[in-house]
Each structure stands twice: as structure tokens, then as C-alpha cells.
Amino acid sequence: MKTLRYVCRRFAAAVILLLGISVLSFSLSSLVPGNYFDDMRLNPQISLQTLAQLRSQYGVDEPLPHRYLHWLEHALTGDFGFSFAYNMPVSSLIGQRLNNTLLLAGTATVLIWIIAVPLGILSARLGWVNRITTLGSSALLSVPELVVILILVAGCIRMGVMPLAGVAEWDRAAATWTRIRAVGLHLLVPALGLVMVGLPIVFQHTCTAMKEVLEAPFVQAARGHGISSTRLLLRHALPVAANPLISLFGLSVGGVVGTSLLAEVVTGWPGVGPLFVQSIFARDFHVVIAIVMLSSFFLVLGNLIGDVLLYAADPRIRRGNG
């Protein structure tokens, strides 16, 4: 019962946060001068009467609160409006590209954690490994994300060994391994860019958490009782150090999705990122707001997952909640 109340409270907080983000996004989009129909005036084939009918049909000239409530009512049913630039519903437009974004973000997240956690544990135990890895992670953290991805893309272009831009067509007639290999080759560069950006953060948190636990009195006492290093590490130190990592995992889920939008634009991966940039320039604000809400949803969802996992893993939080 306590667990259900905790999850309900966290879920309610997430819903309120998403509502606040939607209000802010809608308000900021209304402050931008002009809209998509203003550019249509330059087309001599479209009459002013037609433009007036379109503006009335889509409620462009209605007051902001009315437009927001109308959008929210439809958004709750999965309808995020209509894309004027692409002449199709926003939900269908984003749905065509969302799978590519989730594939990229999911692949990068798995690679980051399966590399960073063992490397952080090893670095906390071995001094010479710590010096090398800390230097490398600090160098990556000091460089902006965009620069890291651009350097990677420039290197791949110069070597000419990896395909860039787009994604291989899913040829159903080809063998399964051939299809996976074709998609994987196109996925490699943007995924590697996300790994280079996200790996140092997870590594440093893992290394710091493990160092603190390995220096704790209970670990020293367990070592004095003759417990083997492997058992001490896996059964005693790692569960204690897992708490900050669980919280970080929840944030990294949404963070990688957000960073993947940047990587998609730079590498040409056909996900939601390029659509977001194109919609901004076209002033297709229904698409822009929908993508902002989608990115915020994954960030809030990741944070919610981290809170629930931390609640399940740490009995101190459960007792405090009681």
C-alpha cells in the first residue's frame, strides 16, 4: 500500500510537471512573430479569402487560452494537431520518425551503461586505471557535445569507412543478418557520438560512488574478516553504491533522448531531431510543441523510473515514506 501511494504521488508530480511544460511551450510559441500562414501570403496562387478560411479553420486568431485548452483536449487523446508544412497529422508525422530516435537512444543508453559501470568499478580499485580513465573522461567533458559529435563525423568522412546520413532500407527479401548489419552500419556513427558524450558522466559517478563505499568502515571491517575481494565488491560494496547510480540512470534515459536530437541533426539520422529543426524554420509550431512535449515526457518518465527503482532498492526511503 505504501508503494502504491508513493508511485501515485510521483506520477501526479510528473503529470503536473508535464502540464506546466505544455503551458510554457504554448505560451512561448505564441510570442514568436508570424506563423505558417504568413509565408503563404507570398504565394500568388492562394487568395486572401482562402487564407482567412484556413486561419479560421485552425483557430490561429483565437485567444491563447482558448487555443491552449483546445490543443490540450485533443492532446490527451493523442492528437497533437495538424502539420501545415507536411499536410498531415502531427502524431502520424512524428510516429514515422520516432522509432529511429528510440532505436538510436536505446542503443546508446545500453552501450553507455555496459561500458561505464565496469570501467568505473575497475577505476575505483586500480590507481593506474583511474589516472588514465579520469584524464580521458575529463577531456571529453570539457569539450561541448556538438564539437565531440562534429569531430567524430569529420573523422568518419575523412576515413570513408562508415556510411553517414539516412538509414538503410529494410529489405524484407534479404537475410535477417544482412538487414541488421545494414541498419547497424548506419546507426554506428550517431550511436558512437552519443556514447562519447554520455559515457564520461556515468563513468565518473560510478567511480566516485565506488571509491566512497570502498573507503567506508564497514568495507574495511569486512576486508579484515577475510572476505574475498570479489565477494566484497559484488555483495557488499556495489549494492550500497547503486543508489546514486539508479537516480542517474533515470535521468540518463531522458538525457540521451534529448541529446540524440542533436546527434540526429549533425549525422543525418532520420529521427525526430531533423524534423524539429525543419519545423522551427517553417514555423510549424504544432510539430515543435509536440516534439518538446515528447522529449519532456521521456525525461519525466526516466526520472519516475529512477525514483521507483530507488524506492525498491533502498529500505531507508521506504521507512521514511512510512
Distance CA 127, CA 114 (A): 21
Q: What is the C-alpha separation between 29 and 299, in angstroms, rounded?
A: 21
Give backbone dihedrals phi and psi of 88, rounded to 5 degrees, phi first: -160, 160
pTM here is 0.79
* Domain-embedded: residue 62: no
- In the chain the first and final C-alpha atoms are separated, in Å, by 10
Of 80, 149, 94, 75, the residue nearest 275 (C-alpha)? 94
Going by C-alpha positions, the residue among 269, 260, 318, 322 that lies closest to residue 291 is: 260
Structure-block grid coordinates of residue 163: 556510411
Query: In this structure, is residue 119 part of a structural domain?
Result: yes
The reply to whether 36 falls in a domain is no
- Could you tell me the three cell numbers for 105? 537512444
Residue 51 located in a structural domain: no
Phi and psi angles of residue 83, each rounded to the nearest 5 degrees, phi first: -90, 115
- Whole-angstrom Cα distance, residue 301 to residue 189? 27
* pLDDT < 50 positions in the chain: 170-171, 321-322
Q: Exposure pattern of 249-266 as b/e (b: 16+ CB <10 Å)?
A: bbebbbbbbebbbbbbbb
How far apart are alpha carbons 239 and 312 in whole angstroms? 12
Does a structural domain hold residue 35? no
Show the domain range for 121. 90-321
**What does the pLDDT read at residue 16?**
92
Give the residue carrying C-alpha cell 522529449: 295
75, 94, 85: which is closest to 23 by C-alpha? 75
> Which of 173, 183, 202, 195 is CA-nearest to residue 103?
183
**Rounded to whole angstroms, how far apart are CA atoms 202 and 219?**
23
| Number of Cα atoms under 13 Å in the Cβ half of residue 90 | 24
- What pLDDT is recorded for position 322? 42
Question: Considering the domain boundaries, does residue 59 fall inside one?
Answer: no
Location of C-alpha cell 575529463: 138
Grid cell for residue 114: 555496459
Measured CA to CA, the distance from residue 106 to residue 112 in angstroms comes to 10
Following DSSP, what letter does each residue of 185-246 receive, concatenated? HHHHHHHHHHHHHHHHHHHHHHHHHHHHHHTSHHHHHHHHTT--HHHIIIIIIHHHHHHHHH
Angle subtended at Cα 84 by Cα 262 and Cα 98, rounded to the nearest 5 degrees: 35
**What are residue 83's DSSP bridge partners?**
88
Provide the CATH number for the domain around residue 188.
1.10.3720.10
Is residue 171 one of the residues assigned to a domain? yes
Residue 8, classified by CB atoms within 10 Å of its CB into exposed (0-12), middle (13-18) or buried (19+), is exposed
> What number of other Cβ atoms are within 10 A of residue 149's Cβ?
23
**pLDDT tens per residue, range 4-63:** 787 888 888 889 999 999 999 888 877 777 666 666 676 666 777 777 777 777 667 778
Report pLDDT for 229: 74
DSSP labels, 20-84: HHHHHHHHHHHHSS--HHHHHTT-TTS-HHHHHHHHHHTTTTS-HHHHHHHHHHHHTTT---EET
Residue 229 is assigned to a structural domain of this protein: yes
- How many structural domains are present in the chain? 1
